[in-house]
Amino acid sequence: MLAEPFAHGQSFVHGLDPRVRIATSTVFSCLVAVANSFTVLVIACMISLGLVLLARLDLAAVGRRVSVVFGFLILLWLILPLTYEGEPVGQWGPLVWHRPGVALAARISLKSFAILAAFTALLATMAVSTMGHALDRMGLPSKLIHLLLMCYRYIFVIEQEYRRLNAAMRIRAFRPRTNLHTYRSYAYLVGMLFVRAAARAERVHQAMRCRGFQGRFHTMAQFPRQAGNRLFLVATTSAMLGLAWLEWLQ
């Protein structure tokens, strides 16, 4: 199964209605994505960090998850300041760093941190199955919900099948090299993986039909309706309206 290290907890965020968390994170990420003011972006990063603290997540684990984008950001910091024309802010030999490129790289870095941290605090704190049922309650197309839930349920089965086929190749003395035989062998591996995945999908679909599946996943889980949801909505809506005012109306 896919790891969900943040999905189980006793924090205020974990007790919120998943639909509230999904809606809040979506609107917040869109607002941050279109913002350009450094003041707004810094405040957004502080809000995201506050959500992480409110969710009582392990900061080291959150840091490891956020660090996934660091390689991409480092590449931007190496390229953008050198390729954008404008006022120079530094020079090292023939390389000149320009202010517009530095500003753009900084904006992208702040946006990436704010959005990823907010998603970690609000979305990673719920199970994927819970997210699927919440999206269904929010009126999203049922086919997208089925795709999400079935991928979540069976992606690890495909991984196990790949490991089994790969082990069978190695038992037969296969050693990958840069030659035509290796490329052909990997092509056969991928093809057989698709064949077995399709066969398993057909068996699963038939089993679901035999059990009365009619195109909808039902859940007995009841999303909580409590004062905390309204309080969180009021607080986050006020914060996002404040960010919008700072960005476009000030």
- Tens of pLDDT, residue by residue over 206-232, are 888 898 887 777 666 677 677 888 999
Looking up tokens 């607080």 gives 235
Q: Do residues 226 and 206 share a domain?
A: no
Q: Are residues 75 and 120 in the same domain?
A: yes
Identify whether residues 204 and 226 lie together within a single domain. no
Q: Which domain holds residue 81?
A: 18-126+222-249
Answer whether residue 228 is part of any domain: yes
Mean of pLDDT values over 129-153: 84
Instruction: Judge if 227 and 122 occupy the same domain.
Output: yes
What mean pLDDT is predicted for residues 7-14? 86
Contact 79, 97 (CB under 8 A): no
**229 and 176 in a common domain:** no
The pTM of the whole model exceeds 0.85? no
Residue 153 inside a domain? The answer is: yes
Let me know if residue 108 belongs to a domain: yes
Q: What domain count does the chain have?
A: 2
pLDDT at position 23: 94
Indicate whether 114 and 22 sit together in one domain. Answer: yes
138 pLDDT band, cuts 50/70/90, is: confident
The pLDDT of 192-206, averaged and rounded, is 87
| pLDDT at residue 240 is higher than 90 | yes
Query: 205 lies in a domain?
Result: yes
CB burial of 109-128 (b: ≥16 within 10 Å; e: otherwise) equals: bbbbbbbbbbbbbbbbbbbb
Mean pLDDT of 18-33: 95
**How far apart are alpha carbons 39 and 52 in whole angstroms?**
20
User: Is pLDDT at 183 greater than 80 in this prediction?
Assistant: yes
For residues 23 and 122, membership in a common domain is answered with yes
